[in-house]
Amino acid sequence: MNSAASPTSTSARTGIHSTEVGDSGQRIVFLHGLFGQGRNFTQIAKALQPEARSLLVDLPNHGRSGWTEELSYPALADAVAEHLRAGYAAAGPVHVVGHSMGGKVAMLLALRHPDLVDRLVVVDIAPGESTGAGEFEHLLDSLAGLDLGALTRRSDADERLAEAIPDPRVRGFLLQNLRTGGGGFHWQANLDLLRRELPTIGGFPDAEGSFEGPVLWVAGEQSGYIEPEDRAVMDRLFPRTRLVTIKGAGHWVHSEQPDAFVSALRVFLLG
């Protein structure tokens, strides 16, 4: 068994980069949230070994995946589907775990390509308008206001963002997208597009039909991204949904309460 993250690959057709963790067990695909990367789930994937192997996907406009000129959830779901069909899911359906924006992509993936999805886990997001969009607008505006040309080292960026983004954990999460090369710093994620398409990211397209497979809907106890009124739409699209709440967790459930998150995944996906 290989516990390190390997190998990595990028689809020439979709431009999607992904990394495999482990080489045996049930197959799980992880889809990250806005301004994240597949590697955000590395420790979760390692904790699920040896019963599971995982594919950590960089969604388009994030990480090492390619950039697009426009953004829509159906297009993102279709791109992920093409990437999975070409390799990881070629042998049959896989489990899919999606957080926040990645949760919306995961839901559309299950609805549009149900043959690819065995069990679905949707983490702290609902199939509708996201109430936390204002928070991400502030974060993205703060990053866009950073003068990259004035930076001489990575710590400069952390210091200059401290007032606007006081939580060091959130700053660290965002600054993982800051790269150096060619004589200066640049954003690895497509910051301009993500800012412009934030209303699209915060919404959810009209969806028809339903996904009949089992679904685990995970909420953070201290998060406001899932509201009671979201239940009706979730049940219509995913009639076999079970909702669990992770105590002590906010929106970033997997990083704030990793042990409880792994336990929930083990019971639902591997039990």
Is residue 6 scored above 80 in pLDDT?
no
Instruction: Give pLDDT, residue 8.
Output: 74
Express each pLDDT in 238-256 by its tens digit.
999 999 999 999 999 999 9
In terms of DSSP bridges, do strands 241-246 and 52-58 run parallel, antiparallel, or are they unpaired?
A: unpaired
Instruction: Give the HSE-up count for residue 145: Cα atoms under 13 Å, Cβ half-sphere.
Output: 12
Give the single-character DSSP code of 39: G
Of 196, 211, 150, 140, whose CA–CA distance to 173 is shortest? 140
- Pick the catalytic residue: 32, 62, 95, 251? 251
In eight-state DSSP terms, residue 269 is I
Q: For residue 223, indicate whether it is catalytic.
A: no
Q: Residue 167 catalytic?
A: no
d(CA 18, CA 39): 9
**pLDDT tens digits along 30-81:** 999 999 999 999 999 999 999 999 999 999 999 999 999 999 999 999 999 9
Has 100 been annotated as catalytic? yes
Spot the catalytic one: 54, 65, 100, 255: 100
Place of tokens 């150096």: 180
Q: What is the pLDDT of residues 75-125, one digit of tens each?
A: 999 999 999 999 999 999 999 999 999 999 999 999 999 999 999 999 999
In this structure, what token pair is assigned to residue 86?
Answer: 């070409």
**Digit-coded pLDDT (tens) for 179-232:** 988 788 999 999 999 999 999 999 999 998 999 999 999 999 999 999 999 999
Whole-structure pTM over 0.85, yes or no?
A: yes
